[in-house]
């Protein structure tokens, strides 16, 4: 199995639409969905997410981090 085939078989389990909920330190922050789909004839996976923050969540208290 070549490297591209290994990656495709690993990423294949993500394909579809997923629902998620976010919380931090026991506080509910919101929910949403993420859709993963193959693009460029299976060369890449595209991810699109939509979220709905909780009206009680304080965005000033959110922590974000950048991925390298």
**pLDDT tens digits along 19-57:** 999 887 888 888 999 999 998 888 889 999 988 888 777
State how far the Cα of 20 lies from the Cα of 33, in Å rounded to an integer. 6
State how far the Cα of 23 lies from the Cα of 37, in Å rounded to an integer. 26
Enclosing H/E stretch for 21: strand 16-24
pLDDT at residue 56, as a whole number: 78
pLDDT at residue 15, as a whole number: 93
Q: Give the CB-side neighbour count of residue 25, counting CA atoms within 13 A.
A: 4
Q: Supply the Cα-derived Rg of the chain in whole angstroms.
A: 16
Domain residues of the chain, as ranges?
Answer: 3-57
pTM of the model: 0.65
């Amino acid at each position: 199995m070549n490297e591209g085939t290994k990656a495709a078989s690993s990423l294949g389990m993500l394909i579809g639409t997923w629902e998620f909920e976010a919380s931090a330190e026991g506080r509910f922050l919101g929910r949403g969905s993420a859709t993963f789909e193959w693009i460029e004839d299976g060369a890449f996976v595209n991810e699109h997410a939509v979220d709905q923050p909780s009206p009680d969540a304080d965005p000033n208290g959110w922590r974000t981090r950048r991925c390298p």
